[in-house]
Structure 1
Amino acid sequence: MAEIQPVRGWRYAPPLSQQIDDYVSPLFDVVSARQREALYRNPLNSLHLTVPRGDDPAGAALLRLREWQQQGVLAQDVLPGIYVYYQYFRLPGNPGHEYCRKGFMCHIRAYDWAEEVVLRHENTLPSSVNDRAELLSRLQLQTSATHGLYRDDAHELERYLDEAIQDPLYQTEEDYQGARDVLAVIQDRRVIQRFQELLADKQVILADGHHRYEGSLAYRQARRAAAGDTYTGQEPWNYHLMYLTNSAADDLRILPTHRLLLELPDNLTTEEFLTRLAPYFTVLPQDDPYGLPELIAGKPWAFGLYLDGQSYKIRLRPEVHAQLDWPTTPEVKALDLTVLHYFVLGKALGLGDMEAQRVWPGVAYVRNFPECLTRVDRGEARAAFITNEVTMQEVERVCHSGAVMPPKSTFFYPKTIGGFLFSSIRDDDAHHPFAACF
């Protein structure tokens, strides 16, 4: 199924890599405006390539890329390799435990969704896909890896990863999200071929980076159409840079994304809103809003509600679930967030189906639980719905069902960072003497 290839990575040159923290950056879809302005002040920060600015952003990024390559800011590794990428991190509520997410970066063939090799779990916005495709077309450089998941219950590849990480190329002290990122490389042909053999019968779930992946698909389709009869399928632009992690690993974390209602339609009062919820949910007042996450933990179709300074635990009445008649799979209907969107936004608030809800401006998605309460208390939102995280098993079930989740269902943590590795998809990379080895 999944064909992967090693990469002759472009990286910050050794003198600069000693200060790699100065050059890494958040991904394009999570970097804040304040972070952007701070990072842009460093003329060598990777954000100039991953999130370029100006009247012609892609053109500006191309000029900068050429300068960096000519000046030796970026250098290409001589040998192709599988790039080992570990992220060490801690989580609130368990600060004494350090997690380690293990994975590796490589090229994967850019499969169309219909081929069912790479599986998606969310929809994309065309404008963001076009932006990524334009950047890829101009630079012919993959500027940041998307995140994919394969399942290997035997954990066979981890021993190779653990061995390689003992000799890192570089590492951050602490990235913008508090994680420590470490990069190493495997250049042993026999080991790389074992990676290829193991992935050859796997499907890959796209955890993060749907817009960047679809940008690669759009660019590949355009190049294939232009190539006509000369197309071979082995051109470098058929491939996409991906960070692959084992979905069977213990240190794979998905954090919840809560829902803020910035307004209530029809100028509903608190009492009217609670009355509208009553046919679908049991509503139990609570004394401590900060106890809501623990109160709902592990309970299906249960949510915390913070409304006008009062907290509630609400849980769907089991017999009501059969009313959920959206045209989707049973795996999606079973999700907490589907229940929330259908019965709260759709039924209680009368906002219609998921497509109608997408264009409603009255909902915001917030990952920080205390921020939800603060924004309600400040009057910036009318209500906050506190949710449980989606499990890896739920993600796998939905993806294999062929459906997609409600928007903002998953937040895989930590995010990968930009600037650790770049990969070329230029035509001349196909003629490197090592290409025939794989």
Structure 2
Amino acid sequence: MKIRRILATAVAVAVTAPAVLLSVTPAFADAPPTAQTQAKPTLEELEKAAAVAQEAYDKALAAKTAAYEVLKEALSDTAPLTLAAKAAKTAADEAGTSKTAADQAVTDAKAALDALPETATEEERTAAETAVTRAEATAAAAAADKTAADAKAKEAGNAADDARVAAARAYSLVQKALTDALHAKTAADDALAKAREEENENQDCVAEPGLTTILTGVPDSITAGTTTALSLRVSNRTDKAMDDVLAHAFTHATDTSGLKETDKLLHLQWSTASSPKWHSIGGDHLIDGIGPLKAGAHADIKLRLTIDASAPAGNGAAFVSADYTNENGSCGGNPDIAMYDFGVLKAAKPKPGKTDSGTTGTTGTGTTGTSGGSNPSAQGTASSNPVATGDGTLASTGSSDTSQLGLLGAAAVALGAAAMFVVRRRKAGSQV
């Protein structure tokens, strides 16, 4: 498989040279396996590769932080080499001032010698010549001192500049190393995530008829504009615990012709003892308030079905199913969708001078309330038979086969990935 080649390459380079993980791209998936490609890596190997990449990233991040501090210090005015360069420059400037003064003294001494009159004595001329000689010696020493000071200043300045450049280069290198380490870490993490995903995909879910769903309280008919209390019991009738159980519920209705769907006018909500607040069941048809179920245990879920007052008369049905997943990756569920049908009665018109109480006049055994967000607690018993879809047959429910087939077909489409867990969890191309 293409993903296997990607993961094999990923783990190999993650251990040897994490930065090379950048080559593990989607484009590589279309390339044929090379001679260097290793055998399929295990999850343990991929986890090790991800850990190595994480460690490399952590070290690169620490190196960047340290390099930044060095760079900041090298660029500061108080850096030792910067202070030394400043001191050397000051000494060179002072030596230059001394040399200038010494040179001026030579000029002055020579001028004094040249200014002696012809009447000057031999002693006066000797003294002037001695002053010139001494000034020239002082100037020569000052020039030597200035040369030495300039050399030291240049050397100190170069040292400070070199430190700044070295710090800047080091910081640039660790920045790139951090970027490479991050890319390597991301590639290793992605490879591990894909392997785990594939591991989960490779674990086939199994049909588990022992995970049952029974809906009670469904009356023969429900009047539009009312709310009906229902009860769903999910039971683990097996000898094994299930770590996470999910129930699925869906309602579907049409007008009397069976051609116009009125699903949007039906609203289903759920509540459990652990999550007593009413939750609307969305487009995923999911009830996630169950959690784990021990062998032989069951969970009860309160449901309430509200039908808008504008709903036309017609036929309706409620569908329920359940599946489970375990922490070890195993999964399963009941492949059958239980169907409970009911009639939809048009909302009764209020009598003149009286307001509509919102109560139903149905003859079913379920108890109904108002459509104004009430919290009904009474639970009736199902007045219709569950319809199993596992073998493609439809049990008799008292309604026409045509409308029942239409309701059942709509449920299969609507529940789809939610209830038909085998289709959802198995690999493409596998057989149920």
Superposition TM-score tier, normalisation by shorter sequence:
under 0.3
Q: TM-score, normalised by structure 1?
A: 0.22
Counting helix residues as a fraction of each chain, which structure ranks higher?
A: 2
Q: Which has the higher contact order (CA 8 A, sep 6+)?
A: 1
Q: TM-score, normalised by structure 2?
A: 0.22
